[in-house]
Amino acid sequence: MNRRTVSAVLAAAATIAITGATISSAAASSSGEHAAARAATTTPVAAPARAKLTLAPSSAALAACFPHAKARVVVDLTTDTIGKDTFRIYASGLKPKTSFTVFLLQQATPTFGAAEYIGDITTDQWGNAHNEFKLIVQEAFAFNGTTAARVDLNSVGFWFADPADDDSCLGAASPTTGFDGDASAGVQMMNSGTQALPLP
């Protein structure tokens, strides 16, 4: 093999070595970028702050009629991050196939004060019900533009949507209240008592 041929072979080998190193370097860089991207996408997101309430029957008579009645409220407090909260309500041991109206309240028990109607729950054949509402809960308030009075709504209660639905427990003379969209509801079934949702 003459010198010219040897030089050509050595030059080709050097080119292959440089190319291989470049490819290896690029692959390593690409691999590092992919690893960083994976790390960025798998960073755990902190769970939102959560408020919980347990509701109880609103009177001894209702507790006697529905001895297994239970209800709880769980609120994911995300107003500061997405402009609304998630309010979930779960109930059991209630009158089957019955609708109830759910309210945020100034006061859980009579005379209730200001109230905000936020939705309904309807029980199945076993007396179980649940629903989920998207609204501002932690900062819920009622404001009177005439008097400039503001009150926080950090209690919860729900009413028989039909005034006749509480008659089997309280009798036909049980009161009709205004806690429904048609202004005709039964009595309050359950409320949060002295528990309160967190204030901002």
- For 57-103, write each residue's pLDDT tens digit: 999 999 999 999 999 999 999 999 999 999 999 999 999 999 999 99
pLDDT in tens, 108-146: 999 999 999 999 999 999 999 999 999 999 999 999 999
Q: Is the model more confident about 106 or about 36? A: 106
Sign of torsion over alpha carbons 47, 49, 138, 181: positive
β-sheet bridge partners, residue 156: 104
- HSE, side-chain direction, 13 A CA sphere, residue 103: 29
What pLDDT shows up at residue 13?
A: 44
Query: What are the tokens at 96?
Result: 């089957």
Nearest alpha carbon to residue 121 among 155, 76, 72, 192: 72
Separation between Cα atoms, residue 109 and residue 55, nearest integer Å: 12
Question: Distance (Å, rounded) from C-alpha 165 to C-alpha 92?
Answer: 16
Q: Which two tokens stand for residue 152?
A: 């926080």
The half-sphere exposure of 62 on its side-chain side, counting CA atoms within 13 A, is 22
Residues 8-59 have pLDDT tens digits of 444 444 444 444 544 444 444 555 555 555 555 556 667 889 999 999 999 9
Single-letter residue type at 134: K
The predicted pLDDT at position 92 comes to 98
**pLDDT given for residue 47 in this prediction:** 81
Name the pairing type of β-strands 141-144 and 129-135: unpaired
Per-residue confidence band for 1, with pLDDT thresholds at 50, 70 and 90 = low
Q: What is the pLDDT of residue 45?
A: 64
* pLDDT band (50, 70, 90) for residue 5: very low
135: exposed, middle or buried (C-beta count within 10 Å: 0-12, 13-18, 19+)? middle
CA distance 26 to 117: 61
Strand 99-105 vs strand 141-144: parallel, antiparallel, or unpaired? unpaired
Residue 181 CA to residue 62 CA, distance in Å, equals 23
DSSP state of 187: -
